[in-house]
A and B are shown apart, each in its own frame.
Chain A
Amino acid sequence: MVPEDVEALLRNPSPDDERDRADLVAHTIARLSYGARPGDYARVGALDPDPELAAARYVNEQLAGDRVDRAAERAVRRLEALSEPLGELYEYQPDILRQQLIAATLLRAVYAERQLFEVMVGFWSDHFNIDLSKGDCRWLLPAHDRDVIRAHAVGRFPALLRAVVLSPAMLWYLDGRANRRASSDEKPNENYARELLELHALGANGGYDQADVTEVARALSGWSVRSKVASHFGIGAVEFTAANHDDGEKQVLGHTLSPGGGRQDVQNVLDIVTAHPSCAHFIATKLCRRFIDDDPPLAAVCAVTSTFSATRGDIAACLRTVFATDAFRNARASRLKRPFHFVASALRVTGASTDGGPGVTQWLERMGHRRCIRSCCPHSPHQRFSVPDLGLVSCDTRSRRRTSTERLVHRKIRARSSWSSSAEAPMG
């Protein structure tokens, strides 16, 4: 049984609520990154004597341009699948691709200087979740990660969404490639149309109904992916087959798409959807949840919604607005880290070096993180981070976190291993 003194300690914790509240610099680093590394706090603090300005300069630094992240590139340079053209990915064993993708995600989280960029890659990967065990996703996901998510992670939301809609991996994952309507007898496959509206752009209760789902499915019909079975050439290429497209008139969210739109129907639908007020509100809310709180104050959500609308979905501009809100600056209460964040930040804070091999990924899996493995449906809306939901953390999770942290400290987790001859361990 639990010793009595332990029980007493657990039941009567210290009442000091204010202690350990992070200062603004520490708070900003913690929220924008996968955790501070030794020296980060001092470096950012030295950017300006005023903590307010120092934090602001850190935000600017994180959002600055498209400069190459040399540390991240060095960390992943031996993971050759990451740079393969789409069709070449089919030459790999799916397991190798999966290992390299997981290793790359972890290495970038641990070593990248542009931490906020990597955090946003994780954010969009969750938002546009794909399970790599479905169909050709196992080959297509590395290209999706690179050409869709990373290419647009802090760009413009409409461009990101278009890339997602026409991503070969997404066309596989949500059955868009099977959505055809060559004759009026055929029923379109509604899977992607519904998730586009509900999960990707407008949110549940976003002002659409079943008729909009059906009409969007018609508008998106005819797009497919050249499959391994059907062809030896151009595998993975996305193509539009006019004969499989329903070219009649459509009504989407109160707008009319004229007949004969053909391949333009996709863009027309996306223009309607991304200009819809629910889209700005939906994305703004998710950003505020990620960076502020599970229940962000309305004022913050409104500010970000306005920025989204005014800039037509400029993601970096929305982030600047998030970080400028009082709600963000004051949201310094502790939050729970999801397993990936927990592991990445443990490696960062201890200054450990890692090659992203099985020593670490097995640790992640034991804690319940299985990247790209579908749990039940495309995406769970119940991701929550803040402490009031602690009841949702299983005893299983808690005991795993304790034992794994203990093991890391006692060097029983091999953050580096010899799993792959080609994955040279990067220097921090």
Chain B
Amino acid sequence: MVFLRGGADGLTLVPPIGDDAYHRARPGLRVTASDGVRLTDRFALHPQLAPFAPLFHDGHLEVVHAAGSDDTTRSHFQAQDHMEHGGDIAGGWIGRFLRARAPHPQQSMGAIAIGSAFPESLRGAPSASVIRSLDELAVRDPLRALLPTIAHLYRSSPGALGVRMGAAAHDAIAALERLASLRTASPRPANGASYPADEFGRGLADIARLIRGQVGLTAATIDLNGWDSHFAQGALLEPLMSRLAHGLAAFRQDLSEFMARTTVVVMTEFGRRVAENASLGTDHGRGSVMLVLGEGANGGTVRADWRGLEDDVLEGPGDVPVTTDFREVLAPLLTRHGVGDVSRVFPGYMATPIAAGR
């Protein structure tokens, strides 16, 4: 699961170049029909997302437009929580996904988050690890020798705390052991894949390595940050789009045959206001874009209940109405990945399109 944090502008990622209203609302920021990489008569990719074009036309990549959640706060934190929790409930949807797949064996490397903080989406996972990079982790000999001492320290901690610390330490040590064995197993990207030399690219390469190493990885999350484009957004978004597209193209090439049982979902907490602001940026909006790559993707299509961008269809202060709920996109994918009863992952969610214009 790739999360674009900050609220990515769907109208820049996949501009509706066939809509006059789009060009009118974005005089300074629009992607022209000739610059866009055409997908359909209405939609194009931003030129920086060009590496996605072959994936789309070969049937591996699906685009969902005007997608989002029913959270209307336009607050980063509330909208992210809502999407990562899978609705107004406690715990993350990936955490519930992992539980719903039981009795598949759960292992310490069953779920990982690349980064430095535990994402909300993984809350409640039977076991999950947060790592910045595979290479930075190592169980060195001095540490190994210290294990009995460490265990003793945990034992002398007071009751409930001691139990939690003990279990946590045990998980950590087991994960480190598994990683150590993987370190030598499959270090290089396969099939000539070349990742961008940035944090996001390295994170994707690490996830691919764990998948190829078949350590029992079931779910992984990674963030690409910085999409909050209130000001001069061109300069901000172009490098991000390039990293996103090149990174995922390399990921797909690297995994090759493993992609037959791997699905990548790209999502963001909300899109941006249709009209640009006075500082060549855009403010918080509603509907944006989701991408589905690999197993389960309805490749080569732009899925959208698209109602245009005329004033009378816009929501609130002038935002793309959300016509496809993110759970509608995720639910069939979860089924393909072994969840019998999707309501265990999205309790209370009825898989019907949410009303437009709210």
Q: Identify the A interface with B (CB < 8 A).
A: 1-3, 5-7, 9-21, 174-175, 178-182, 186-191, 194, 198, 204, 210-211, 213-214, 333-334, 368, 374-378, 380-382, 387-388, 390-399, 402-403, 406
Contact = CB atoms under 8 A, between A and B. Distances in A.
Contacts of B176: 395, 399
Binding site of A, secondary structure by majority: helix, strand, loop or mixed? loop
Nearest to A214: B317
Contact of B77 (A13, A181, A204): A204
Nearest to B232: A178
B156 to A, nearest CB: 6
23 contacts: A2-B173, A9-B151, A9-B166, A11-B167, A12-B155, A12-B166, A14-B155, A14-B156, A14-B162, A16-B159, A18-B158, A178-B281, A180-B279, A214-B317, A334-B158, A375-B117, A376-B226, A394-B129, A395-B129, A395-B130, A396-B131, A396-B137, A399-B139
Contact of B148 (A6, A18, A179): A6
3 closest Cβ contacts across the A-B interface? A394-B130, A13-B162, A178-B279
A86 B250 CA distance: 46
Interface of B: 5-6, 73-78, 113, 116-118, 120, 129-132, 136-137, 139-140, 142-143, 146-148, 150-152, 154-177, 223, 225-226, 228, 230-232, 273, 275-279, 281, 283-284, 316-317
Given A2-B174, A398-B169, A13 B154 contact: yes
Nearest to A339: B116
A11 B142 CA distance: 22
Contacts of A394: 113, 116-118, 129-131
B19 to A, nearest CB: 19
> Could you say which of B73, B77, B148 has the most chain A C-beta atoms within 10 Å of its C-beta?
B77
> Could you say which of A7, A9, A380, A387 has the most chain B C-beta atoms within 10 Å of its C-beta?
A9
A408 to B, nearest CB: 14
Contacts of B164: 387-388, 390-391
Nearest to B76: A377
Contacts of B148: 3, 5-6, 9
A397 B130 contact: yes
A191 B328 CA distance: 30
B151 to A, nearest CB: 4
A181 B283 CA distance: 15
A398 B168 contact: yes
Contact of B225 (A7, A13, A17, A375): A375
A413 B231 CA distance: 42
A63 to B, nearest CB: 31
Nearest to A392: B118
Contacts of A374: 225-226
B161 A178 contact: no
Contacts of A187: 273, 275-278, 283
A395 B132 CA distance: 10
